[in-house]
Structure 1
Amino acid sequence: MQIDHDDDDPLPCHEHDYCVSNEPAALDLSLNENEELREEISRLRKQIEDLTVRSKFCLERFSASDDDIRFFTRFANHAHLMGFWKQIEPATHIIIRVTSARTVEKTDQVPHSASTTVLQAIDEIFLFMYYPSLGLMQKDLAHRFRIHRSTVSRINTWANFLYTVLGAVYVWLDVDTVKTHLPDVFQDYADTQIILDSTELRCQTPNSLLLQSEVFSTYKSHCTFKWLLGIAPHGAVTFVSSLYQGAISDKEILKQSGIVALLDPSMAIMVDKGFLVEDCVPCKVHIPTFLSKRAQLSRSEIRTSQSIARLRVHVERVIRRVKEHKIFSTVIPLSITGSINQIFTVACLLVNYQNGPLVKAWANNG
């Protein structure tokens, strides 16, 4: 049924005021909500970043803790470690890796590139320092860093790299430099150029009887590897020999190490009483007096021996710093004999970068 409308009756209409704007209070509320959402998003992103870092075993995770940096790398703090990294980073582009690509491409050298590694370069060197510091097995390291075991084997790459880079730094000091930094306690032995001592690391016993006889140390009653280490009077490491078999004598290691060629008559060396080397060096030897066939020492000899012993102990303190690395307190497996010389030498040379002066009072001398 159709309904007719009277033409005089207006059609119903809805009124709209298009000039009416939103209330200011509503706009402020909307802006506040957006700002809160942005802050919440920023906070959640930061949490995700922190969780990601904490879930990874990397240098950044421990950068805020000096105790952790010291424990894992033997560097005093993160800033100290990064200062060292800045010195060697420019040379990292020349790193040569030996990988499975060597077999495929039939080449001995595989250039370093980001595509061949899972870890960043800074984390690879962190892995290298972590390895001797804690003395862990490579399989353990692979689990901790969440990488393949073949990646862990790049420890040898960094051992060789640091051995080359740090070995290229001429650590031997001239006479004038040694005297400039001479601590006051050495004034009675002001001609001392270097304090020498040998150190040994126990190694796994070889199956070969011939090899056993060469590496067996009667002093340690065990098969060992042996090095000669020298420091300047103010504590800097200035000489590290190559690795020798444990059966070698202190006198013979001094002859073969090459240090004799660095000495001249104006210098003096300070050694333990076991180093009977006066006849094979061109300089004076400060050595504690021993009894030989006499019944007792004179008072002056006792005082001299005691004073030398008090000064010579500093080289033992440096060796102790090196041996803070747990890998050196265990029996070295024969499987890493190809790299142990590089690892130990690097650990000795890093002492010059990782630590402060041996004695706080020497801080102005170093």
Structure 2
Amino acid sequence: MVHTCVVAGCRNRRTPGTGLSFYRFPRDPERKQLWIAAVNRQGWAPNDGSRLCSTHFISKQVKNPRSPDYVPSVFTPISPEMKEPSRPEVPDKQEARVEAANALLFLQRQGGSGLEEPGPMDANIEGSVSSLTDDDDDNDDESLNEDRDETLAQSSVNFDDVVKALRRENRALRDSVEKMSLSENSLRNDAEKVKFYTGLPNFFVLETVMLLLAPHMDAIRNAKLSKFQQLLLTLMRLRLDLRNQDLAYRFGVRVGTVVRTVHHVVSIMSSTLVPTAVFWPSRAELRKNLPAALRSSCPDCAVIVDCFTVPCEGPVARGNEQGATAACNILNYLIGVAPQGVVTFVSRGVLGNFSPRNLAESSGFLSKLLPGDVVLASRDLDIADAVAARGARFGIAGCFQDDQSRRVEGSPPDTIGVQAHVERVVSMVRRRYTMLTGPVERPFTTAAERTSNLSTFDKIVQVACALNNLCISAAPLE
């Protein structure tokens, strides 16, 4: 049975593929009268076969009296092609059943001789098709609408759950990426991560260093790296001695950017951080904090000196250095450590064979001594005469220079621990910043500034000692 819309002027018919729905008039008398009044056909009354198409509703007919689609309200003729479907199209049940029955009849006829009369089975099938057409047609549209409403409601609930699950997954992925990244937030609450990558004890110390350097980093133009990332990259270079290519991969920049960043930040730290953290304390401060092991035997101990060497990658020649007539591959440094365990002096590096006395004189170490100061050493550095010329005294572990003319063997045993103390401080600095163990790359050994005559690696050694002083110092000499 083919249905046609009862609205005057509407030519919509139930045909497959149009996507239209046809509704029977309600059984409720009041609502049925509202529909009849909306159709506005004088002297007309609907019968059981009367249908109203979906083009006369805003969306679809509903049973909620508060909805505008409780009664049909659209009566401007609209072609089925121009009406935008408001919901997914669902195939018509009746048409599907008819097609399935016809297909079954066709298959049964093909199985026979093709000349036989329709049997009882054919009659039953045709009867069932007609009964389906007559009986199910009335309730077909209403059942379809109810199924659609239920499906849409269920799908909306499922979509809400999916959105919530995706948001949770997104947050989890963000947290995971943040933990793996080398950003300021990822280090803020992770002291172990700060210590591993920078050598500093916690984020507070790292943030303090950043605040000290930030005003001087404005001249560095780097669009891809923030000031914090530039400092972190440099500290990772010193701390872990990572290759430039490795750091370029980690921070997503080019190798040239890594090289320039390290050189610039090291220069800024050398001029800003080193004078703040590596300085010669006053005599009053030294005596106030002197360890008990030296308080009775060497109350005037000002510094404990030693030398350490760093190998280079290849032969390096510095023509302006005394005694450096040939290429050498060893850098020598003079380091001074206060009895409390902090580094108070670092010289510039000298290549190859060197004289400790010349190094002490050229580096400005002797100018810091006051008459009466005691300078201790872990081994004979051949600077006793130079120290004595400044009115100070020089002592070696296992013996102590009692006056300027002679050394007395069997001096106080407290000085025997000097060697272990100095080695502990130097090893702590080199262990904390692995780049100091070498070998030094050739670009770092060239003089960065002609005025200071300091190479980039000289600055790196001084910066490492300054950063070490910001950490917990070595165990005092007890």
Shorter-chain TM range is 0.7 to 0.9
Structure 1 stretch 276-285 or stretch 200-209: which is displaced more? 200-209
Measure the CA separation in 2 of the matches of 1:162 and 1:226. Answer: 22
> Per-residue displacement from partner, 1:147-180 (whole Å, max 9, x unpaired)?
1112111111111110111233261111111112
1:197 maps to a residue whose letter is D
1:341 is the counterpart of 2:458: yes
Find the partner of 2:204 among 79, 94, 104.
79
2:267 maps to a residue whose letter is N
Structure 1 stretch 139-148 or stretch 254-263: which is displaced more? 139-148
> 1:350 maps to which residue?
467
1:157-172 equivalent positions in 2, closer than 5 A:
157-169=264-276, 171-172=279-280
Find the partner of 2:291 among 172, 179, 183.
183
> 2:354 maps to which residue?
248
Kept after mapping to 2: 8 A contact 1:195/1:230: yes
1:89 is the counterpart of 2:205: no
1:267 is the counterpart of 2:373: yes
Find the partner of 1:322 among 416, 426, 429.
429
2:336 maps to a residue whose letter is G
1:236 is the counterpart of 2:342: yes
Kept after mapping to 2: 8 A contact 1:215/1:245: no
Kept after mapping to 1: 8 A contact 2:317/2:324: no
> 1:214 maps to which residue?
324
> Per-residue displacement from partner, 1:70-106 (whole Å, max 9, x unpaired)?
222111233332233233334333xxxxxxxxxxxxx
1:267 maps to a residue whose letter is D
Measure the CA separation in 2 of the matches of 1:209 and 1:350. Answer: 28
> 2:313 maps to which residue?
204
Give the total of aligned pairs.
319
Structure 1 stretch 167-176 or stretch 191-200: which is displaced more? 167-176
Structure 1 stretch 48-57 or stretch 154-163: which is displaced more? 48-57
> Per-residue displacement from partner, 1:93-147 (whole Å, max 9, x unpaired)?
3xxxxxxxxxxxxxxxxx334xx33121111111101112222221222122221
Measure the CA separation in 2 of the matches of 1:257 and 1:213. Answer: 16
Give 5+ residue unaligned stretches, structure 1. 20-28, 94-110, 292-297
Structure 1 stretch 205-214 or stretch 122-131: which is displaced more? 205-214
Give the deviation of 1:200 after TM superposition: 1.1
1:285 is the counterpart of 2:394: yes
Find the partner of 1:66 among 191, 196, 221.
191
> 2:147 maps to which residue?
none
Give the deviation of 1:279 after TM superposition: 1.6
Kept after mapping to 2: 8 A contact 1:216/1:247: no
2:467 maps to a residue whose letter is L
1:173 is the counterpart of 2:221: no
SS of the counterpart of 1:316?
Answer: helix
Measure the CA separation in 2 of the matches of 1:209 and 1:182. Answer: 40
SS of the counterpart of 2:279?
Answer: coil
Give the deviation of 1:225 after TM superposition: 0.8
> 1:105 maps to which residue?
none
Measure the CA separation in 1 of the matches of 2:318 and 2:472. Answer: 44
Q: Which has the larger radius of gyration?
A: 2
Find the partner of 2:66 among 8, 12, 18.
18
Measure the CA separation in 1 of the matches of 2:180 and 2:363. Answer: 46
Structure 1 stretch 41-50 or stretch 313-322: which is displaced more? 41-50
Give 5+ residue unaligned stretches, structure 2. 1-5, 7-40, 51-61, 68-153, 401-406, 447-455
Kept after mapping to 1: 8 A contact 2:248/2:258: yes
Give the deviation of 1:204 after TM superposition: 3.3
Measure the CA separation in 2 of the matches of 1:215 and 1:64. Answer: 52
Kept after mapping to 2: 8 A contact 1:56/1:145: no
Cα distance change on mapping 1:361 and 1:238 into 2, 3 Å: closer
Which is bigger in relative contact order (C-alpha 8 A, separation at least 6)? 1
SS of the counterpart of 2:273?
Answer: helix
Cα distance change on mapping 1:54 and 1:266 into 2, 3 Å: same
Kept after mapping to 2: 8 A contact 1:243/1:341: yes
SS of the counterpart of 2:445?
Answer: helix
Cα distance change on mapping 1:308 and 1:44 into 2, 3 Å: same
Give the deviation of 1:37 after TM superposition: 7.7
Measure the CA separation in 1 of the matches of 2:281 and 2:174. Answer: 47
1:288-303 equivalent positions in 2, closer than 5 A:
288-289=397-398, 301-302=409-410
Cα distance change on mapping 1:8 and 1:328 into 2, 3 Å: closer
Alignment TM-score, normalising by the size of structure 1: 0.73
Give the deviation of 1:275 after TM superposition: 2.0
1:313 is the counterpart of 2:361: no
